[in-house]
Structure 1
Amino acid sequence: MLGALVSVLSALCFSTSDILVRRGVVRAPAAHAAFVTVILGVPLFAIATLVSGQLFRAGDLSLSSYGLLAGAGLIHYVFGRYFNYAAISAIGAARAGPVQALSLPYSVVIALLFLDEEVTGVMAAGIALMLVGPALMVERQPSRPVAAAAAAVAAGGQRDPAAAAPA
C-alpha cells in the first residue's frame, strides 16, 4: 500500500513539474530549463539527505554502486531532463507525457537484456495496453489552438497567447 501511495505522489509531482516547465519554456530554451533545475536540485537534495540522515550513510554503497548511480544521474539529469524539456516545449506537456510513458517498455527491455528479469503474461498484456495511449497521442492531429500557436511562432509571434497577456 505504501508503495502505491508513493508512486501516486511521484506521478503527481512529475506531472506538476511538467506543467511548470511548460510555462517556463514559453520564452526560454530547454537547455536553460535543464540548467536551472539541476542547479537548484543539487543543493536541495543535499539538504534532504542531511535532514534524513542519509548523507552520513554514503559509505554503505560499494564503488560499483557509485559508478552505476553516477551513470544513472548523468543520463537522467543531463540528457533526460534536456530531452524532456525540449519535448514539452515542442508539443506541450499533455502530449509529451503519454509519449514519455514509453519509458516502461524501454525499462522492461533493458531489464530483460541486462538483469535477466522475466515478464509474465499478465505483465506483457499490461505493457501492450500501456503502449496504446502513446501510439494514439503520436498519431493524433494537433488541435486548433496548437496549430494556431505554431502558425504564430512561424510568423514571429508569441508561442503562447497567455504569455502575451499582462500579469
Structure 2
Amino acid sequence: MLGSLLALFAAVTFALNNAAYRRGALTGSVAQGMAVSLSLGVLIFFAASILIGGLEAIFSFSSFSFWLFCAAGLLHFAWGRYCNYRATKAMGANLVGPPQQLGIIVSLVLAIIVLGETLTPLRILGILLVVLGPAISLRARMATQGPDAPKPTFQPNYVEGYYFAFLSALGFGVSPIFVKVALDGGGLVESIAGGFIAYLAATAIMALALLKPGLAAHIAAVKPVSGKWFSTAAVLVSLSQMTSYMALALAPVSVVMPIQRLSLVFRVLANSMLNREHEVIGGRIWVATGLGLLGAIFLSLSTEFVLNHLTLPDWLEQAAQWHWP
C-alpha cells in the first residue's frame, strides 16, 4: 500500500511540475528549463542522501547496478525530460499527456518479460480505469473547443509536439525497468541513493552540452519570471522522482507505472489553476479523476487481501486467482 501511495504522490507532483514548467516556458527556453531542473535536482537528491545515510549505500551498489542507474538517469532525466519539455513547449502540457500513455505499455511489457511480473484481474481492471481517466479528460478538453469557442492565443505545433511526446514516452517507459533491476531488492535508502546517481549522470551530460558556444550565456540570461517557475518545477519534479524511486523499491513496476500515469489527469487540473487562460476544466475532468483514483486503489490491492476480506462466489474467486503469465 505504501508503494502505491508514493506512486500517487509522484503523479501529483509530476503534474504540478508540468504546469509550473509550462508557465515558465511561456517566456523561457527548453535549455534554460533543463539547466535549472537538473542543477537543483541533483542538489536535492544529494541533500536527501546525506539526511538518510544514502551516500554509504552508493558504494554498496555493484558496478552493474551503478551503470544501470546511470542509464536510467540518461533515459529519464536527460532524454525523457528534454523530449517532454520540447513537446510541452510545442503544444502545451495537456496535449502531451495522451501520447505519453505509450510509456505505460512499454513498462508493463518489459516488466513481464524482464522482471517476471504478472498481471491479475485486479491489476488489469486498475490499468483500464487509469487509462480511461486520461481518455475522458482529453474528451472533456476537446468538448470545450466547439465552433463558437474563441480562438486560443496559443497555437499548438502538433507535429513537433507529438514527435517529442512519443520519444519521451519511450524514455519514461524503459527507465523504471532499469531502476527496478538496479535496486536488486534494495529499500528506500538505496532508492534515493540510486536516484542521486541517476541525476548525477544526467547532469554530467548537461554540463557537456554547456560547451556548445553561446549556450551557457543563453542559460545565464534566463528571465526572472521564467527562473522562478523553472525553479518551482525543478523542486516538484525532484520530489516526484524521489517518491517514484521509493515506490519502485516497494511495489512492482506493473503497479507503480499505471498509478503514475494519473499525472495526466492531475496536470489538466493543475494547468487550469496555473494557466487558466490556456486550459478549460469541466465536469468530465472530475469524473476522470475519480476513475483514475479508483483504478489506483485496485492496483494497490493484492488478490489475497481481497479474498481474505470479501466473500465471493466460487466462480468469481477462481477468476480472481487467475494471473498471466
1:38-53 aligned within 5 A: 38-53=38-53
In structure 2, the residue corresponding to 1:60 is in which secondary structure?
Answer: coil
Q: Please, what is the CA RMSD of the aligned residues?
A: 3.0
Q: Quick one: distance in 1 between partners of 2:16 and 2:83?
A: 17
Matched residue, 1:25? 25
Alpha-carbon distance between aligned partners in 2 of 1:10 and 1:146, rounded to the nearest angstrom: 34
**Partner residue in 2 for 1:150:** 155
Trace 1:133-148 onto structure 2 (pairs within 5 A): 133=133, 137=138, 140=142, 143=145, 144=149, 147-148=152-153
Number of equivalent positions:
154
- Identity, % of aligned pairs? 33
Once residues 41 and 81 of structure 2 are traced to their aligned partners in structure 1, the CA distance between those partners, rounded to angstroms, is 12
Structure 2 contact 87–96 (Cα < 8 Å) conserved = yes
> 3-state SS of the aligned residue for 1:118?
coil
Aligned-pair CA distance for 1:47: 1.3
The equivalences for 1:1-167 within 5 A come to 1-133=1-133, 137=138, 140=142, 143=145, 144=149, 147-150=152-155
- The answer on whether the counterparts of 1:30 and 1:85 sit within 8 Å (CA) in structure 2 is yes
Contact 1:21 / 1:33 at 8 angstroms: preserved in 2? yes
- Counterparts of 2:113 and 2:135, CA distance in 1: 24
Task: For residue 92 of structure 1, report the CA deviation from its aligned partner.
Answer: 2.0
- Where structure 2 has 5 or more consecutive residues not aligned to the other structure, the ranges are 157-274, 278-325
Where relative contact order (Cα < 8 A, 6+ residues apart) is larger, the structure is 2
Unaligned 5+ segments in structure 1 are 152-159, 163-167
Give 1:71 deviation, angstroms: 0.5
C-alpha spacing 1:122/1:15, structure 2 compared with 1 (3 Å):
same
CA change 1:31–1:145 in 2 (3 A) is farther
**Paired residue type of 1:45:** F
Q: Is the 8 A contact 1:112 1:118 kept in 2?
A: yes
